[in-house]
Amino acid sequence: MLIRFAKPEDAPALIELIDQLGYKITLSSLYENIDAYLRDPDRFLLVSEIEGRVVGCIASDMAQTFHREGKSMRVVSLVVDRMHQKKGIGIRLLEKAEELARINGCWVVELTSSFSRQKHGVHDFYVNRGYLKEGSQYFHKLLT
């Protein structure tokens, strides 16, 4: 398994993974998003590849923390193709993102995972990686 930074030509494979997460995006919008991640030094988009096929990805953003020294990293998306789960791919992607966070002066990695993913073991996956589960403090507002 190879973990590497994503390239624009990964978009068709990534759109399939995003669909497995339950989100819809057009290919042209995904190309724009990949381009934005590649140009921004505070964003990372990594893919895992097996035999030349993209089977997982992790996207993360870093931001300067106002109330303390250093940055925080937020995992925006982590997905492994359902046919390749339980093979350590998610662990390796998360570990690589954490490594990049440390290199870039981050003191914390944050993420949210919906309640619906709990029944599939996703919350346990993060807890087993040392993440603290602090309840349901996720709020969002859709802007039109």
Cα distance between residue 127 and residue 139, in whole Å? 21
Domains of the chain as residue ranges with CATH? 2-111 (3.40.630.30)
Q: By the 8 A CB rule, do 31 and 11 touch?
A: yes
- Tokens 């978009």 identify what position? 11
Residue 8 is predicted with a pLDDT of 96
Please name which of 96, 105, 89, 54 lies closest in space to residue 75, comparing C-alpha atoms. Answer: 96
Cα distance between residue 65 and residue 60, in whole Å? 15
Cα distance between residue 26 and residue 10, in whole Å? 14
Cα distance between residue 128 and residue 142, in whole Å? 32
Q: What is the DSSP letter of 56?
A: E
Q: Report how many helices (DSSP H) and strands (DSSP E) the chain contains, helices first.
A: 5, 5
pLDDT tens for 74-101 read 999 999 999 999 999 999 999 999 999 9
pLDDT tens for 1-54 read 999 999 999 999 999 999 998 899 999 999 999 999 999 999 999 999 999 999
What is the average per-residue pLDDT within 58-64? 96
- The reported pTM is 0.86
Burial of 49 (0-12, 13-18, 19+ CB in 10 A): middle
* Helix or strand (DSSP H, E) at 115: helix 115-118
